[in-house]
Amino acid sequence: MNSTALFVTCLVDQLFPRVGEATVQLLEQVGCQVDFPLEQTCCGQPLLNTGHSEQARPLARRFIEIFEGYETIVTPSGSCASVTKQLSGECFEGEPEWQQRASRLAERIFELTQFLAGRAFRPSRPFAGRVAYHPSCHLLRELRVDRAPRELLSQVEDLELVELDDGERCCGFGGAFSVKLPALSAAIMEDKIAALEQSGADFVTASDVGCLMHLGGGLTRRGSRVRTLHIAEVLAGFDGRSREVQ
């Protein structure tokens, strides 16, 4: 066992690297020595979510082999945290050795805000603006993490946390769901965007860049002034304009 490992996720690594940088900054702030295993790949979530557990198995095994040597694994994603904590039951039926390895690893996997709240993190930089929090489905419904992100945001200087009407409602993304059922996905998203605009928020934040990517596309097409930021960016002091961690 050694330092804390950053499980960065595919979307952050390929499309939103600033979220990964902000995550490292926050982890270092609470005293973590952060390691980034370069050999990490997808954990198999897209395959598992669409029922292809057998095809996901090699990715799940690789994930376990890469991360099981770390004392703690932290990820800026509620969905990836949820899936990797459930690999024992989802992926390895009939393979007791891998089930045990997956179960032992699951105890050391944390979503970012869950981990920071457990370390008594206190935001050290201000963030000026009215911010709405969107609780992603995996984080809220599977990991049961609700208070931690809200409490962390409420402690940020100059940040005004605004509530959304029917705020726990899905944004419509759901990974492959938005591809298979685009019309339904878009209809759900429009309801969320209407709630965002009605709230008067300047920004919407969440723990999953998938949700934010989905909402960001809808907001842009609508010409909305509401912008998207991952919660790591907000907590790290991203000013929402320069797109740099301050």
Whether residues 25 and 54 share a domain: the answer is yes
Of 57, 84, 116, the one marking the end of a domain is 116
**pLDDT over 60 (residue 1):** no
Whether residues 172 and 212 share a domain: the answer is yes
Q: Give the integer Cα–Cα distance in Å for 166 and 169.
A: 6
Using CA atoms, how far residue 92 sits from 47, 81, 88, in Å, is 14, 17, 6
Q: Is residue 240 part of a domain?
A: no
Q: Which residues pair with 47 in a beta bridge?
A: none
Whether residues 212 and 128 share a domain: the answer is yes
Mean pLDDT of the chain: 92
**pLDDT over 80 (residue 153):** yes
Q: Is residue 34 part of a domain?
A: yes
Mean pLDDT, rounded, for 197-206? 96
Of 94, 116, 138, the one marking the end of a domain is 116
105's tokens: 């690893």
Whether residues 88 and 128 share a domain: the answer is no
Q: Give the integer Cα–Cα distance in Å for 77 and 109.
A: 11
pLDDT of residue 35: 97
Q: How confident is the model at residue 2 (pLDDT cuts 50, 70, 90)?
A: low
Q: Is residue 242 part of a domain?
A: no
pTM equals 0.92
What domain count does the chain have? 2
Mean pLDDT, rounded, for 69-90? 93
> Which CATH number fits the domain that encloses residue 154?
3.40.50.11810
Mean pLDDT, rounded, for 89-113? 93
Range of the domain at 71: 4-116
